[in-house]
């Protein structure tokens, strides 16, 4: 497995692979590689010949009071995980390589970036889109793989790709979970054992909502109130950031649940912000 840190090197490796007739997959990550990332890598390997994983903790997607400084960085074990998963090349650039001294151009996706997580994380999705657009231009992949755990991010990347005509196929992979249902996340490592126990309540709330929607098709506000009650009972240390039920295509809030909906929530437990979601098919 190669590890590349500059743009010329990764471009050369990808060009060689392409010249040998190989298709190229990109899996963008911020490192702290876990089973969720590995599931994306496996999907990438199934679909393409040459898999590039990028590891880059992107400063522009963190707000001033967020965890950019303390975000887990563990390159040695990340490289070992990538090697184990059969990655061909890791691209692990510095902030300077990605942004230079001053990078003025930003990609944003209008209203899609202002709802759900975007409401409490202004500028977050512009940071995500900007870095993903750079990665697409550097790696020139045929396909790029994202997790449904960050459903809004996946919808936004797909929209950016369509709008800006990137010739990249966007693949969205299912959320990998722990045995008790908690969505795997690099940020789970911040949780104390007591907080970790409560964090399962997010999945419990989503399962309850999924069941309620499938069996009764209630109005969205009833489901939101039931989720709120579930979280208050099971995640007493949790501060609810949002609970929303939206159209999974355009992320607009919906009033009824008689067609496909995305139930999404964000809860702060102690200093840790956790997100999760479930897609409920229509009847």
- Encode 127-156: b = buried (16+ Cβ within 10 Å), e = exposed: bbbbbbbbbbebbbbbbbbbbbbbbbbbbb
Say how far apart CA 42 and CA 36 lie, in whole Å: 10
For ligand AMP, which is the closer residue by CB, 25 or 40?
A: 40
41 binding ligand AMP? (CB under 6 A): no
Residue 147: phi, psi to the nearest 5? -100, 140
Residue 160: phi, psi to the nearest 5? -60, -40
SS3 category, 50? strand
Active-site choice (37, 124, 230, 234): 37
- Residue 37 among the catalytic residues: yes
Among 13, 24, 29, 50, binds ligand AMP (CB under 6 A): 29
146 binding ligand AMP? (CB under 6 A): yes
Among 60, 186, 257, 272, binds ligand AMP (CB under 6 A): 186
62 binding ligand AMP? (CB under 6 A): no
The C-alpha angle 206, 209, 215, rounded to 5 degrees, equals 140
Among 4, 10, 37, 143, binds ligand AMP (CB under 6 A): 37
Say how far apart CA 189 and CA 270 lie, in whole Å: 13
Contact (Cβ atoms closer than 8 angstroms) between residue 74 and residue 80: no
For ligand AMP, which is the closer residue by CB, 132 or 224?
A: 132
Residue 264: phi, psi to the nearest 5? -130, 145
For ligand AMP, which is the closer residue by CB, 51 or 223?
A: 51
Among 10, 13, 39, 48, binds ligand AMP (CB under 6 A): 39
Piece of 32-40, 201-209, 262-270, 271-279 that binds ligand AMP (CB under 6 A) = 32-40
- Encode 18-46: b = buried (16+ Cβ within 10 Å), e = exposed: eeeebebbbbbbbbbbbebbbbbbbbbbe
Residues forming a β-bridge with 96 = none
Mask for 99-138, x = binds ligand AMP (CB under 6 A): ----------------------------------------
88 binding ligand AMP? (CB under 6 A): no
Residue 95: CB minimum distance to ligand AMP, A:
16
Residues in touch with ligand AMP (CB under 6 A) = 29-30, 36-37, 39-40, 146-147, 149-150, 173, 175-176, 183-186
Give me the active site residues, please.
37
């Amino acid at each position: 497995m190669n590890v590349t840190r500059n743009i010329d090197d990764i471009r050369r490796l990808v060009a060689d692979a392409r010249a040998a007739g190989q298709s190229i997959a990109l899996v963008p990550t911020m490192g702290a590689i876990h089973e969720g990332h590995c599931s994306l890598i496996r999907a990438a390997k199934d679909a393409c010949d040459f898999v590039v994983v990028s590891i880059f903790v992107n400063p522009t997607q963190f707000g001033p009071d967020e965890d950019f400084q303390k975000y887990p960085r563990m390159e040695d074990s990340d490289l070992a995980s990538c090697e184990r998963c059969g990655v061909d090349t890791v691209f692990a650039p510095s902030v300077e390589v990605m942004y230079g001294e001053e990078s003025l151009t930003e990609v944003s996706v209008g209203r899609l970036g202002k709802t759900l997580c975007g409401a409490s994380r202004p500028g977050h999705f512009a940071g995500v889109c900007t870095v993903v657009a750079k990665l697409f231009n550097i790696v020139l992949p045929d396909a790029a793989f994202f997790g449904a755990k960050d459903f809004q991010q996946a919808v936004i990347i797909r929209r950016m790709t369509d709008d800006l005509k990137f010739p990249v196929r966007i693949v969205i992979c299912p959320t990998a979970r722990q045995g008790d249902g908690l969505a795997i996340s690099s940020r789970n490592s911040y949780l104390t054992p007591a907080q970790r126990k409560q964090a399962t309540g997010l999945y419990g709330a989503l399962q309850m909502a999924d069941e309620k929607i499938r069996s009764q098709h209630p109005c969205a506000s009833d489901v939101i109130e039931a989720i709120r009650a579930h979280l208050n009972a099971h995640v007493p240390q949790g501060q609810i950031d949002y609970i929303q039920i939206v159209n999974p295509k355009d992320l607009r809030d919906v009033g009824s649940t008689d067609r496909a909906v995305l139930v999404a929530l964000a809860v702060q437990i102690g200093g840790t912000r956790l997100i999760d979601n479930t897609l409920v098919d229509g009847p």
